[in-house]
Structure 1
Amino acid sequence: MVDLGRRPETRKNVEILFGEPERQLRSNIRLAMRNEKFENVIDVENVGHVRQLLATRAPDLIIIDAETKGGSVSELIYDVRHGHIGENPFVPFIVTMWRPTEVLVQDVANSGTDDLLVKPVSPQQLVDRIKVLTENRKPFVVTSDYIGPDRRKDVSRGSDIPLIEVPNTLSVKISGEKMDPTKLSALVKRAQNTINDQRLKRNAFQICFLVGLILPALAEDRLDDPELEEHLRSVLTTSRDTAERMLGTEYEHVSNLCNNMIDVVERLLDNLMAPSTKDVSLLKPVSDAILLGFHPTSDAATMAGEINSALSAYDKRQKKHD
């Protein structure tokens, strides 16, 4: 474990992007961080500025206000986590905010940030959070709609979602360890491949789960139910994401099935009030084939049981909320 207080001289090697719109608070925090030997702090003016810097730099930590102008902070984090921008999708994020509305908190949390801090924030609070990210950063988890640190509160609850340890240059630099860029790049690539593999499997499960919600609605002629269209669009989005992620992986052979699912769902959405019987009949076999394509060693009965369990749990939650 890295001790943040044992080797303060190594903190000068840490590169931090810092976005704080309030001048006085920005000045106070920068001074406090300099006193803690964090000297390489780069001010960012807006979200677009962060995106520009990530094109040429690889910071070890990004601290930014949730309502920074020039774009969406949540979309920024999402794009980093999904490898759309920057060299390192695992850079730690600390997001600060003055107005922690439920919508804003949920939006930021779902983007894949490491930490949320409600202002007013003392400089010591920020240093303490950096210490946590250095010494005890949470592993990543992957679902069909989330990539980021494991933010589940009930860690005792069982889950089949694996925890993934990701590279942490913040910890490496503070430890004083020599960092070989080639080795770091290999570690990042390996973690990305692991996450992509998990994302593909979670996507396949999600497609089957959604089809399990769609078929009863179609069978009962609930064609004007807004949830039906929402579920179909989710299948479309997830199938497209899956098809794109399969390039260059061992699962590339499943791409035709995903393309078939995309075609079927697009036709259903185009004719939602009069869905084709043939297209409806294709939903389950194609979704089952996609799931088994990512789990070649599992039998169909086991996979079907997992889907049915998820559907039962969903149904119970829905009835509880009604």
Structure 2
Amino acid sequence: MRFLVRCLLRAGGINKVTEAETGGQALEIMSARLIDLIIVDWKMSPLDGLAFTQMIRRNHNSPNPYVPILMLTAHTETSRVTAARDAGVSGFVRKPISARLLFDRISSVLTDTRMFVRTEGYFGPDRRFGQDPHYAGPLRRECDRGGEEESLDLDDLRWSA
């Protein structure tokens, strides 16, 4: 798969491609020089792509926690996409890959303007892709609203005069 991705990248004009056989080797490379984009496969060993992404995003010794990361996998079930998103990936590429899909995703993550968010259990790009044009207040989630229609939160700007 690395060979195929490298060939697609070179065919598209990306000639500075560095490969790593393991996550540890990738971290060494990242410590030695600036990397613009990481493409990880879900099924890597001994460290899988999900754990590698979490290490890049959350480890205080990470060479670049803000680097765009594309997750490459044939497993595109909603639970896997959600897990990858929650690990901090910037984008998702499904196998079998095509040159068009790969370059669309690369273009997307390299021009992504989402802010990075840090919470107790997450660090990575804001998981929301865009804002709801009909949103009229600070409370975005149902759990923020408490589920009670008759309650009034004075901080809720929808009710301010």
Report the TM range for the smaller structure's normalisation. Answer: 0.7 to 0.9
- State the match for 2:33 in structure 1: 57
The percent identity for this pair of structures is 26
Contact 1:82 1:89 in 2 (8 A): yes
Decide which moves more: 143-152 or 56-65.
Answer: 143-152
CA distance in 2, matches of 1:61, 1:153: 20
- Deviation string, structure 1 residues 126-145 (Cα, Å, up to 9, x no partner): 11222122333422223332
Q: Normalization by structure 2: what TM-score? A: 0.73
* 1:154 positional shift: 6.4
Structure 2 residue aligned with 1:132, among 94, 108, 114? 108
Cα 1:124/1:67, change in 2 over 3 Å: same
Query: What is residue 93 of structure 2 aligned with on the other side?
Result: 117
Q: Which amino acid aligns with 2:17?
A: V
Tell me the residue number matched to 2:122. 146
Mapped contact 2:68–2:110 kept (Cα < 8 A): no
Aligned to 1:97: 73
**Compared CA separation, residues 58 and 85, structure 1 to 2 (3 A):** farther
TM-score (norm 1): 0.39
1:83-114 Cα offsets, whole Å, 9 max, x none, are 43432210000001112234332221111110
Structure 1: 5+ residue stretches without partners: 1-21, 162-308, 314-322
Larger radius of gyration: 1
Would you say the 8 A contact 1:55–1:85 is kept in 2? Answer: no
Deviation at 1:148, TM superposition (A): 1.1
Residue 120 of structure 1: how far off its partner (Å): 0.9
- Counterpart Cα distance in 1 of 2:61 and 2:98: 31
**Contact persistence 1:96–1:119 (CA under 8 A):** yes
Aligned residues: 143
Equivalent position of 1:312 in the other structure: 146
Q: How does 1:105-254 map to 2 (within 5 A)?
A: 105-153=81-129, 155-156=131-132, 157=135, 159=138
Q: Distance in 2 between matches of 1:45 and 1:155?
A: 39
* Larger RCO of the pair (alpha carbons < 8 Å, separation 6+): 2
Residue 141 of structure 1: SS of its match in structure 2?
Answer: strand
Aligned to 1:183: none
CA distance in 1, matches of 2:55, 2:5: 27
